[in-house]
Structure 1
Amino acid sequence: MNAKATSPTTTAPSQPADDVRKPRSDGEQSRERLLVSAMRLFGQQGFSKTSTREIAQAAGTNVAAISYYFGDKAGLYQSCFSFMCAEAGGNVAAFDQPHFTLRESLEGYYGQMMAPLLKENTEADVMLRLFFREMLEPTGLWAMEVENNIKPEHLALVGVLCRHLGLDEATDDVHRLAFSIPALCIQLLISQDVINAITPHMLSTPEAITEWGDRLVDYAEALFNAEKLRLQRKA
């Protein structure tokens, strides 16, 4: 979203400069605070029930900063999704490489799915809540995310599975497998509250999260091998 050409309201000379008047480094911090605060509030309350005044107050800035960086509330909402999401199809290269072994592909696949858990500047649960809120109260951005990212990633994973199963084209069973593999990680992402309540140490450090990734790859390989054995028996 391009910033407006006009500047926010000028403060009196005796007052400290507003966030949007500070040097770029401070401005970028202010912009990111607005994004993180907006993601949290939009996720909790939805788009229509969240005001720009609430967002600005939570971010420690003023409403003029939202206009300066994002144009309006709709622009800020769209920027929240751009902040969270990769460019269209951008995650595919992490796991769909012809020279990758199956395990390397699965490691890359789960690596990009679990990246939010390792982010320092925002929280995975905040991002997930915003996605869920958009699914419940759609504005059109979730449909765009499905078309631009989720669908290409699914089809790329299907291609990886077909390659390692020795299939020329995908069957419904391959699609089922490709839906089941991410489901293992989605369950982890949406169950963080449960995991933290029962076994908090299992998400408390980057090393613990990495171990989750290793186990998910093991589980996905087991699913793949079960499907491969089923095809062999059928043949």
Structure 2
Amino acid sequence: MVEKHIRKIRSDGEQSRERLLQAAMRLFAAQGFSNTSTREIALAAGANVAAISYYFGDKAGLYRATLTDFMPPPEVNIAHFDNPEFTLREALHGYYTQMLAPMMEGELTEQRLRMWLREVLEPTGIWQNEIENGIRPEFEAFAQVLARHLNAQVDDEVYRLVHAVAALGAHLMISQDIVAAVTPQLISTPDALARWIPRLVDYAEAIVIAEQKKRKKGAA
């Protein structure tokens, strides 16, 4: 009975924390950090204001959690594409699979994107931390992968290549409103989004092969 009681408390606590995260995400995405109060979040979540302090410390902690709790650690994303046994296509497929994964979550994707855009415009330091501890490690790992397939050392041309390959997927994420306005059928369902992955692999593979040919010509 005691064990069941503890499990129930833990389950209820997880649900309460999740409700706070969901409510906070909606409000932060719509209003920003400064214009959203903890009382407003608690009311929307059907929770007590004290629950925010209990689970997140303060409003800043809750805000940080809405941006970072759902993001896999860099090593998880890197494992999708950094395997010495992968062919170039397999590495590119893994890269775009992990990149577009957040877009498969429907409304949550739009809310998180709005929050990240607000964070860029109204920085609290979280975005800079994400660049250093999340984006940079993945960027460097992908540069090593592409250099390996080019049989080259990482140099500025490899870095340019990484930016170019990443931009193909990043456009879908950052410009969802434009894509949805001009070609809504291309991102309207999870299946439609999934069909982007092999095509992005095709485009990226062509870019990498072009770089391979350029390097071989230069060496000759």
TM-score (normalised: structure 2)? 0.89
Point out where structure 2 has 5 or more consecutive residues left out of the alignment. Answer: 1-7
Aligned partners of 1:39 and 1:126 also within 8 Å: yes
1:29 match: 15
The structure richer in helix per residue is 2
2:194 to 210, 216, 224: 210
1:15 match: none
What CA distance in whole angstroms lies between the structure 1 residues aligned with 2:114 and 2:15? 23
1:25 deviates by 2.7
Aligned partners of 1:37 and 1:58 also within 8 Å: yes
Q: Which runs of 4+ in 1 moved over 4 A?
A: none
Q: What's the RMSD between the two structures over aligned residues?
A: 1.7
1:114 aligns with 2:75: no
1:186 match: 170
Q: Deviations over 1:55-89 (max 9, x none)?
A: 22222333222122212101111212231322243
1:18 match: none
1:132 deviates by 1.4
1:164 deviates by 0.5
Q: Deviations over 1:66-123 (max 9, x none)?
A: 1222121011112122313222433111110111111111111111111111236x61
2:182 to 198, 204, 210: 198
2:68 to 82, 87, 111: 82
Equivalent residue runs for 1:170-185 within 5 Å: 170-185=154-169
Point out where structure 1 has 5 or more consecutive residues left out of the alignment. Answer: 1-21
Aligned partners of 1:66 and 1:73 also within 8 Å: yes
Aligned partners of 2:74 and 2:138 also within 8 Å: no
Question: How many residues are aligned here?
Answer: 212
The one-letter code of the counterpart of 1:54 is E
1:146 deviates by 0.8
1:224 aligns with 2:200: no
Equivalent residue runs for 1:114-153 within 5 Å: 114-119=100-105, 123-153=108-138
TM-score (normalised: structure 1)? 0.84
Q: Deviations over 1:124-161 (max 9, x none)?
A: 11111111111111111111111111111111111011
Equivalent residue runs for 1:148-163 within 5 Å: 148-163=133-148
Aligned partners of 1:84 and 1:127 also within 8 Å: no
What CA distance in whole angstroms lies between the structure 2 residues aligned with 1:84 and 1:132? 17
Structure 2 counterpart SS, 1:89: helix
What CA distance in whole angstroms lies between the structure 2 residues aligned with 1:29 and 1:115? 24
Aligned partners of 2:25 and 2:112 also within 8 Å: yes
Aligned partners of 2:42 and 2:52 also within 8 Å: yes
What CA distance in whole angstroms lies between the structure 2 residues aligned with 1:139 and 1:190? 20
Aligned partners of 1:89 and 1:148 also within 8 Å: no
2:37 match: 51
The one-letter code of the counterpart of 1:201 is Q
